[in-house]
Structure 1
Amino acid sequence: MALLDRFPRHLFTHRGWGLLAAGAISLAAAQIMGRRDLLSLSVLLIVLPLVALAGIRLVKPRFQVYREFHPSPVETSAATTVRLAVARSGSGGGRAVMEEKLPPQFGESPAFRFPARSATGGTSRYEYHLHSTQRGQYLIGPVTAEFTDPFGLSLHRQAIDDGDILTVTPAAVELPVTGLAGARGNDGITATRTRANPSDDDVMTREYRPGDPMRRVHWAATARHGELMVRQEESVTTPEATIILDQRFGAFSGGAASGFGGTAPRDSHEMASSGTFEWAVVAAMSVCAHLAERNYALRMLDPRGEPAFLRSPSAPEPDSEEYSGTSGLQAIAESLAAIRISGPHHAGWELHTGGEKHGPKVHGGHDPDVFGDQLMDKLSAHRMRGPIIAVLGRTSPEEARALAQGAGYGANAFAIIVTDRPEDSEDALETLRRGGWRAVAVPATAAVPVAWSSFDQDGAAPATAAADVRRGAGVGR
């Protein structure tokens, strides 16, 4: 058996190699002894494995594979159960040894035999568990099958499916309840509920529907619209929050962007990320979950005023900006799964030989599109409808000055700068605070709930006098 282990395993089984060896010995004996019966036996022993090898390659067994993840998507560090169902879809028999190919971070690939002992109706079912400590999108599979001919003489190995994508989303951490959202009830976290019929100025109306009592007809609105309009008994104003998620290469990379996490299915490159960017992603997910639990509608933007997930490979709707309810929060989580630092070609940065980083080629070292007119127009369109929360990387004083005026468009404005050297952000923080923002700078080692709570401290408070003067003067776009 030890001698047979030296032969290639991708052509014949031990039984096949044994027959070939026996055929060769019989052929040599027939030549020496002159026995025709030994010659016939040797031909049979040699031809049989070769015919089996040709047959298994010409008539390949066909399989159908069904793969499910429970749950899907799954949060980081949580387990998901992978359920496989494998059925033979074509003719043929024999057994197969199958292996599920996994990315390296999931450990050893599981192997199993087909058909399973518990197979029912020709379908074999298997189950195993996965968990990932890193967000991303991962290709699970394909299943490769190493099968033999009915006589167990030859081997053939091939992939029998294309695999499926497992999406691992960042897990939100629970944030303390604070009064940061502002302008909504006594703590900023409750929807505003207004009884209709206080006056004709703020009454809500809609078109008449069959069955509406005539006493609810609003005659002034009917005259304006030319059709019957009725008063709404009650209207609910959903609070809104705008989250600005920084994704700039220059704000998070300490040099060249580092590979991290899973491979996005649409290309062959690892996600460009860093420790500070991963902190920002978890912070954004946590803030969104915190506000969604309090019935906030969420608007996600990037520093240029574009949809925050425009370049995320995992985004269900990359062009979408507005999210609400449980489905909206789930869409945000999926979009954050494979979001990455915007590459040098997106952010205006260039990597030169040796990984040296050069700033954007714009006058004064500040990209005018960052925190520029497009973002301010987006903020202005939802003026004073709720808080603005910015999760930023390294921010220069020039960028802080551009962003500072955005505070005037929100009921409150909060900025978290995550950087390896928070002490270098004092000028940017002071600029933001003078503009009306509550702003803090934290390292990636800080706990997200601690950073969130720090907005209640005096050090994060805005320069209210300067903010009031600015708002009173009508500064803004």
Structure 2
Amino acid sequence: MRWPRPTARGWSLAIGGLALTVAGVGIGSAELIRLGLLGPVAALIGGGWLLIVDPTRGRHPLRVRRTVAPNPVSVRAPATARVELRAADASGRARLAELHLAEQAATQLSGGLTLRARVVRAPGLVTVTYPIHPTRRGRWPLGPLVVHRTDPFGVARIQATLGEQAEVVVWPEVAELAIPTGGLLGEYARVALGAHTPSSDDAALRDYREGDDLRRVHWASSARHGALLVRSDERSGLRPASVLIDLPKERGAIEWTVALGASMGIALLGAGHPVRLLGGRVTEGTVSIDPGTRLHHLREGAAREELLDLTVDLEPAPTELAAQEDLLAAARELTSPGAGVALVLAVLGSLSVATRGALAGVGDVTDALAVVRVPSAAGVERREAEHTLAALRRAGWRACAASPGEDLDVCWRRLLGTHR
């Protein structure tokens, strides 16, 4: 149970009244004693009144409903939070009146700035609306609502929290990267996987299902049959792709790496490639789960959202040894018999000799492209990154250097223009 606390005025009245009371006792003045007792009594009456109108008390407590739209939201994309504080009966409306409201939000949602809210009051309802500006990928808390109220004399104050926390999911900020006509490698985007790729004239048709791309609708056949029909083999011959992400330790470089990897995956999805994400770690409680141990072949329609969801909780491995083990496991996965990987895109840092050798084998069995983070400052880390870049190129990768924080589209176009 929350108890009222005196305000500055309340403390002044109480202390001043007690001083007068002591003085009245000392000189034997009943009038001065009665006058002195007025201060403490007023403070007690104010506190008692606040207990009656305490917003957390009553048979029908105030109800809080919090929504964020859109949710999930991307870094630096606008979103709006709305909080509704509603009273169900007359006593609740009395507790709701004259409440002062304050909303709590993680600094990753407010950018460290004070939230400026619009408050609308109606009988039995208070609505608070304010914009949020996400600055970092992750899952961030919003709320609970902090309410406080003072008594009519201004001598006591009570504060409480109402409602539960809401969670705002923040995706990385991605760029719309263009896939060149004819595919990433200047070849056809289709490959013969055990059979010749059928022409569009031989496409089998099936009934339209919710979520299908309307560009796949075969309008002529749909008109003849009186129902929407789509080409069922529209994507059957497209090259399966994997996006490999090697996360560094620096926070800024982590976010840039995740954003570039997610942008690559979305570009591949937009071109029709089945995509999976490898690398990084997702922490759930005290258990670390490598998302690369599960294939994430993303469904059409929800593919973009699913891929972005996979990136929300990605964090680097806790140690350099663990990070190396993750990359070695990914290399084994990509080169294993029957892996079915025809295209690999990677965002990598400086690699150990063992990791370079393992990833060199990827270039032998599939088409592979990589962006290697090369620090701008001279030093050991820069030399190791340059050795990594040279080793990948010798192994048949198309690889280019980039600095964390660089424009993603510029980096992507440089990668596409790089030869083996």
- One-letter code of the match for 2:419? A
Question: Who is 1:290 aligned against?
Answer: 267
Structure 1 residues 96 and 15: CA distance shift in structure 2, 3 A: farther
SS at structure 1 position matched to 2:400: strand
Shift of 1:243: 0.8
Shift of 1:27: 3.6
Shift of 1:124: 0.4
Aligned pair partner of 1:107 in 99, 112, 115: 112
Asked if 1:417 corresponds to 2:372, the answer is yes
Question: Who is 1:216 aligned against?
Answer: none
Structure 1 residues 144 and 320: CA distance shift in structure 2, 3 A: farther
Shift of 1:435: 3.1
Asked if 1:399 corresponds to 2:398, the answer is no
Structure 1 residues 343 and 233: CA distance shift in structure 2, 3 A: closer
Question: Who is 1:215 aligned against?
Answer: none
Q: Deviations over 1:125-174 (max 9, x none)?
A: 11111213332332222221122346643111222234222222211123
- One-letter code of the match for 1:236? E
Structure 1 residues 88 and 30: CA distance shift in structure 2, 3 A: farther
Would you say the 8 A contact 1:12–1:153 is kept in 2? yes
- Aligned partners of 1:312, 1:286: CA distance in 2, in Å? 25
Question: Who is 2:305 aligned against?
Answer: 330
Aligned pair partner of 2:137 in 135, 138, 161: 135
SS at structure 2 position matched to 1:325: coil
Structure 1 residues 162 and 347: CA distance shift in structure 2, 3 A: farther
Would you say the 8 A contact 1:414–1:439 is kept in 2? yes
SS at structure 1 position matched to 2:257: helix
Aligned pair partner of 1:237 in 235, 238, 248: 235
- One-letter code of the match for 1:419? V
Question: Who is 1:96 aligned against?
Answer: 99
Question: Who is 2:157 aligned against?
Answer: 155
SS at structure 1 position matched to 2:315: coil
Structure 1 residues 371 and 401: CA distance shift in structure 2, 3 A: farther
Aligned pair partner of 2:167 in 157, 165, 168: 165
Structure 1 residues 373 and 296: CA distance shift in structure 2, 3 A: closer
- One-letter code of the match for 1:389? L
Aligned pair partner of 2:393 in 420, 433, 440: 433
Q: Deviations over 1:251-300 (max 9, x none)?
A: x23xxxxxxxxxxxxxxxxxxx4333332112112112212222222111
- One-letter code of the match for 2:397? W
- Aligned partners of 2:231, 2:81: CA distance in 1, in Å? 50
TM-score of the two chains, using structure 1 as the length reference: 0.64
- Aligned partners of 1:197, 1:132: CA distance in 2, in Å? 48
Structure 1 residues 455 and 197: CA distance shift in structure 2, 3 A: closer
Aligned pair partner of 2:251 in 274, 281, 284: 274
Structure 1 residues 371 and 104: CA distance shift in structure 2, 3 A: closer
- Aligned partners of 1:14, 1:144: CA distance in 2, in Å? 20
Asked if 1:144 corresponds to 2:100, the answer is no
- Aligned partners of 1:279, 1:233: CA distance in 2, in Å? 37
- One-letter code of the match for 1:292? L
- Aligned partners of 1:134, 1:395: CA distance in 2, in Å? 27
Would you say the 8 A contact 1:98–1:145 is kept in 2? yes
Question: Who is 1:381 aligned against?
Answer: 339
- One-letter code of the match for 1:452? W
Structure 1 residues 398 and 171: CA distance shift in structure 2, 3 A: same
Structure 1 residues 375 and 437: CA distance shift in structure 2, 3 A: same
Percent of aligned pairs sharing the same letter: 22
Asked if 1:461 corresponds to 2:419, the answer is yes
Shift of 1:13: 3.6
Show structure 2 runs of 5+ residues with no match. 57-61, 207-229, 376-380
Would you say the 8 A contact 1:395–1:417 is kept in 2? no
Aligned pair partner of 1:348 in 290, 309, 322: 322
- Aligned partners of 1:274, 1:428: CA distance in 2, in Å? 22
Q: Deviations over 1:313-336 (max 9, x none)?
A: 9x9x96562223342211222332
- Aligned partners of 2:204, 2:116: CA distance in 1, in Å? 64
Structure 1 residues 347 and 330: CA distance shift in structure 2, 3 A: farther
Structure 1 residues 111 and 443: CA distance shift in structure 2, 3 A: closer
- Aligned partners of 1:327, 1:186: CA distance in 2, in Å? 22
Map 1:28-177 to 2 at 5 A: 31=25, 39-40=33-34, 42-54=36-48, 56=50, 60-62=54-56, 63-88=62-87, 91=92, 93=95, 95-104=98-107, 106-110=111-115, 118-149=120-151, 152-177=154-179
Show structure 1 runs of 5+ residues with no match. 1-9, 207-231, 254-272, 303-307, 350-359, 361-365, 463-477
Would you say the 8 A contact 2:117–2:130 is kept in 1? no
Q: Deviations over 1:399-426 (max 9, x none)?
A: 122112223443x211221131655444
Question: Who is 1:352 aligned against?
Answer: none
Would you say the 8 A contact 2:328–2:358 is kept in 1? no
* Aligned residue pairs, count: 367
Question: Who is 1:475 aligned against?
Answer: none
Would you say the 8 A contact 1:82–1:127 is kept in 2? yes
